[in-house]
Amino acid sequence: MTSRHPRSPALALAAALALAAPAAARARAWQGIVPGASTQADVVARFGEPSTKGKLEGRTALVYKGDQAIAGTRQAQFLVAEDGTVAEVNVFPAAPLDKESVEGTYGKGPQKTFTDDFRQVWIYRQVGIMVFFGKDGTVEAIRFQAGERSAPAAPAPPPKARPGAG
């Protein structure tokens, strides 16, 4: 006869929360590149050498635009931290995306705020996504970065496409 020990509901809950906590703060990947985990070498291996490489916002920027634009984008920027990991990905969609498309992809209930020039920004903190809308109400840019547990006081400024974005 085998004896069974009932599991403590509190212990089961604690285990579930411990497993869920790291996932809640994990960044959402874009085209296989995960902010905070992927490296500059991963980006180059996946997409080839960038059309432009330089400094943007104090970080190394790998920019794919023009003939080297990644499918579905006018431009994609990978900002790399000093340790070589991708800190942020800024994507400028080639085709207009509306708010319903964003909700269908990332879900309903984002934090909604505005830029200094009154353009709407939707923030999905737990997966590290910020969606910047243009004055016409369509998506101007999508930023992917490591997920956050707490909110900063104000959203970061919207990314800007590099000249010659096409």
What distance in Å separates the CA atoms of residue 162 and residue 164, rounded to the nearest whole number? 6
- % of the chain at pLDDT higher than 70: 74
Which of 28-42, 48-62, 140-154 is least confident? 140-154
3-state helix, strand, coil in the chain (%, to 5): 25, 30, 45
Q: What is the mean pLDDT of residues 59-66?
A: 96
pLDDT in tens, 11-26: 332 333 333 333 334 6
Question: Which positions ≥6 away from 66 have C-beta within 8 Å?
Answer: 51, 164, 165, 166
Residue 105: strand, helix, or coil: helix
Mean pLDDT rounded to a whole number for the chain: 81
Backbone angles phi, psi at 70, to 5 degrees: -75, 140
Closest CA to 89 of 25, 29, 156: 29
| pLDDT at residue number 156 | 59
Q: What pLDDT, on the 0 to 100 scale, is given for residue 26?
A: 64
| Rounded Cα gap, residues 79 and 58, in angstroms | 9
Report residue 39's pLDDT band, with 50, 70 and 90 as the boundaries: very high
Model pLDDT, residue 151? 44
Question: What pLDDT, on the 0 to 100 scale, is given for residue 146?
Answer: 83
pLDDT of residue 17: 30
pTM: 0.75
